[in-house]
A = this chain, B = another copy of it.
């Protein structure tokens, strides 16, 4: 039972420093997501996941993306995306378009209403991200955070999805 001080070996419980880094991440993430989601829902009736989908589509050429690419970008299962697009289609924010080069596939296209809704929501969301997160750090610290994520998940920072998402769509 002697408390042998190992720097960071497998089975020892996390020390205070480790706990601050790890649990802090979990708590901060949860807190920010919850706040951003609530904000978006209250002001524009959009849950956070929906916002992300609209944003990816908006930034894609012709405002349309293949279902599977979209699913990979959003970190959502394919069935999950199918039903999310169902809801958005019902609300008139996106439309489905069949894919001429691959008859199996389908595009999700942002409608004009979708573009409009997104524009409004985007302002809210960006302000929220800046207010809750980015404003707490200097540009230099933001760089460091970016580097940190790069170490945790090699492809993390930029546009596409973690590993997937070929060029044509993203």
Interface residues of A (CB under 8 A from B): 7-8, 10-14, 16-32, 75, 122-123, 126-127, 129-130, 132-137, 139, 141-146, 148-153, 155-158, 162
Contact = CB atoms under 8 A, between A and B. Distances in A.
Given A10-B127, A134-B21, A75 B153 contact: no
Contacts of A8: 130, 134-135
A10 B149 CA distance: 24
B12 A149 contact: no
B157 A20 contact: yes
Contacts of A135: 8
B29 A142 contact: no
Nearest to A127: B10
A76 to B, nearest CB: 10
Nearest to A7: B139
10 residue pairs, one from A and one from B, having the closest CB atoms: A24-B149, A20-B146, A20-B157, A24-B156, A21-B145, A21-B142, A28-B152, A27-B156, A136-B151, A10-B127
Contact of A10 (B21, B23, B24, B123): B123
A17 B148 contact: no
Given A130-B8, A145-B148, A148-B137, A156 B21 contact: no
Contacts of A152: 28, 31-32, 132-133, 136
